[in-house]
Amino acid sequence: MTGSLGVAVIGYAFMGKAHSHAWRNVGAFFPEAPRIRQQVLVGRDPGQVKTAARDYGWAESATDWSTVIERDDVDIVDICVPGHLHAEIALAALAAGKHVLVEKPLANTVADAETLAAAAAAALGRGVVSMVGFNYRRVPALALASRFVAEGRLGEVREVRAAYLQDWLADAGAPMTWRLRQDTAGSGALGDLGSHVVDLVRFLLDDEVATVSGDLHTFTTERDGPDGVEQVTVDDAAWAWLGMASGARASVEVSRVATGRKNGLHLEIYGSDGALTFDLERLNELNVIGREGGFERVLVTEPTHPYVGAWWPPGHTLGWDHTFTHQAREFLCAIAAGENVRPSFADGLSVQRTLAAIEASAHDSSRRLHLDHPLGAAS
């Protein structure tokens, strides 16, 4: 490729800031990736987005995404806004010939995800690349775990246990936000955290979900909003049992009311010849066990480990923010090659179908087994 690629990020809050950090650093640590220009940061509030653009290193700011995606100096559109806006913006950007990165989940509904996946497949034929922002695939330890599974170090994978627990809604007095409204968020902990977990199970096992059984619960049903008390229309926590196409089984738990857990993502994979565990709070470590027993702590900071060689000398740990830089690198290299990159919009659609099935299972009482003996009675 010649020249540089102009990037527009739509959204300047939490994810917009994380993605801006990645675009600012990707060229310094991954010089093999195409060069980029931080062209424009887009947001609704002109004053706030202008300040954010200055702080995050953008050349300019704008408030109208529809105008930005038509600009000749914009080649990449990075979408970091609430889920109900993903489909409209992504479809318009693909139609305009822009490469598109969309934060997870791909969409709020299966129908929108299907439309986006079809549009992305058609656009790829024109050399337009798209990707979903499941950044945990880019944690070096999890990328190494995926490699270990693929190499057969665990033998036949039988069981997966996955939990993603946070506590920012544990306080019933926490205020209402867009994340607690179904029309903007799609779902609660299920879509927010469950989408990450489902994608990681698929990624780590290189497998698809075949069957599901699920349960959802909202512990605090009303919260104070800007105009008074509002009804919470999404779940606070979700549980699911996944049957994989390979025959493996996975249990999933996600919560935004798990008191004391700030961002606790924990994974365990058990195979016929070994096992491994991962904890995001110790994200540079992978614990691996062989058939003979005894966990080995692998410190994933060696140059031979995924992504790590681009950063610091061995033993110097990386952080959560680095995953977004790795994500930007993968996306840029795919653009240069004109090739599909994963997680693709098709991956996003598979995740969305799984989430929808979990929700349907939770809402259909005929899919639950009810015991008729009294609580506490012995069998």
> Cα(first)–Cα(last) distance of the chain, in Å?
70
Helix axes of 46-56 and 14-29: crossing angle, nearest 10 degrees? 30
Q: What is the mean pLDDT of the chain?
A: 95
Predicted structure pTM score: 0.94
Helix axes of 195-205 and 345-363: crossing angle, nearest 10 degrees? 120
Q: Is residue 365 pLDDT above 70, yes or no?
A: no
Q: What is the DSSP string of 117-147?
A: HHHHHHHHTTT--EEEE-GGGG-HHHHHHHH
Query: Could you tell me which of 261, 213, 222, 197 has the C-alpha nearest to residue 368?
Result: 213
User: All domains of the chain, ordered by start, with CATH?
Assistant: 5-135 (3.40.50.720), 140-282+284-318 (3.30.360.10)
> In whole angstroms, how far apart are CA 149 and each of 4, 5, 143, 199, 339?
37, 36, 10, 16, 25
pLDDT band at residue 295 under the 50/70/90 scheme: confident
- As given in the structure block, the two tokens for residue 292 are 């003979």
247-288: per-residue pLDDT in tens?
A: 999 999 999 999 999 999 999 999 999 999 999 999 999 999
Torsion sign across C-alpha atoms 98, 101, 103, 107: positive
Q: Please, where are the H alpha helices in 169-279? A: 182-185, 189, 195-205
116-143: per-residue pLDDT in tens?
A: 999 999 999 999 999 999 999 999 999 9
